Structure 1
Amino acid sequence: MRRFLMCLGPLCLVVLFALVLSAPFGLPGQDSLAHVLILGTVWLWALYRPDAMALWSVVLGGLAAELLLGGPPGVLFFWMLVTYAIGSTHVGQPQAGFLASWVTFMLLVAGGAVTEWCLASLHALTIFSFLPVMFQFALGAGIYPLLYAFFMWEQRRPSQRMRS
């Protein structure tokens, strides 16, 4: 039961990001921001807290994100599963440090953006501009340090409360 409750944290965070960023705020790059935040959540939890990130929570979060967000169907869900698989199997990567996890995350974001671009271009039978792909990559590269800092702060916080 405790593991089930632990797995609700990342699931709720993914659903919250999808729900908030599916609202029509009119922010430029809002869809890209949602994808980066969701992939970042899955990556950080799978890499640094694999005990709290179960496959069923990735599947449920992916289904919720697919229902709430736009884009080619299944692309975000597929890349969430790929991100989870890579993050949960890289047991020694947290010791490799921030830079290794950042580069790997940027490659995952780039893979997702290129896949989405290819499918959208194929569906429309035209080649779209590559600028949105570069924007999503830059957004992922820029936002990951903030996600990482927040995640590490949040992971240390309960232990600091225990000492007090």
Structure 2
Amino acid sequence: MTPDQAPEFQPGIQPRPSLWRRLDMLSRRGLPAALTGMAVLLLSAPFGLPGQAELLPGVVLSSVFFWSVFRPASMSSPIVFLLGILVDLLGFGPPGVMLLVVLLVHGVALSGRYGFSRAHILVLWIVFGGLSLAATALQWGLISALSLHLVPTVAFAFQWVLGVGVFPLLCVVFSTLGRSIANPDRA
């Protein structure tokens, strides 16, 4: 093996990473959670855009699903828990519903991540569509049960369509970020 073909990881004594390198790695690892939190804040703000409230769960579910599959260290369970609390505090639904839904999506994504990470983007999109449909149905059922009457399904169907529709666009953005600025290995 020539010196220019040396592997990235070399066994032996390595110098301790500097404080700046560790901070760089930490910031790169935390970028997906920070971007998701900023998206929650922006989509919860009273801008008055049509479909803004319905887009929030789709963006959060897409982000949690994608990063749980491809970078689970960046979207760990405590971070997903905090994001779910943030969505519940800023959202318009009963408290705890989106927290449970986001944690369930995170759990499914983590449990199937080895298969999902090797799948083609269309297969991943179909899987996300089914998972998002189940999450939206669960959200509708919980909100209906907590309000003691059946809530109209039109808003939830619109929310599901927006979430499935925005997933490929977010996948492109997240994949680009995952190869560049959100990659802790490049620190």
TM-score of the two chains, using structure 2 as the length reference? 0.75
Q: Greater CA deviation, 122-131 or 39-48?
A: 122-131
Say whether residues 1:131 and 2:131 are aligned partners.
Answer: no
Q: 1:29 to 1:54 in 2, by over 3 A?
A: same
Deviation at 1:117, TM superposition (A): 2.0
Distance 1:78 1:152 in 2: 26
Q: 1:13 to 1:125 in 2, by over 3 A?
A: same
Which residue identity lines up with residue 83 of structure 2 in the other structure? Answer: G
How many pairs were matched up?
Answer: 160
Aligned ranges for residues 140-159 of structure 1 at < 5 Å?
140-158=163-181
| Aligned partner of 2:127 among 81, 91, 104 | 104
Match of 2:18 in 1: none
Match of 2:32 in 1: 10
What is the Cα-based RMSD across aligned positions, in Å? 2.2
Deviation at 1:100, TM superposition (A): 2.2
Which residue identity lines up with residue 150 of structure 1 in the other structure? Answer: V
- Using CA pairs under 8 Å that are at least 6 residues apart, name the structure with larger relative contact order, 1 or 2: 2
Deviation at 1:139, TM superposition (A): 0.8
Considering fraction of residues, name the structure with more helix: 1
| Percent of matched pairs sharing the same residue | 32
Larger radius of gyration between Structure 1 and Structure 2:
2
Q: Greater CA deviation, 64-73 or 3-12?
A: 3-12
Aligned ranges for residues 73-112 of structure 1 at < 5 Å?
73-90=95-112, 91-112=114-135
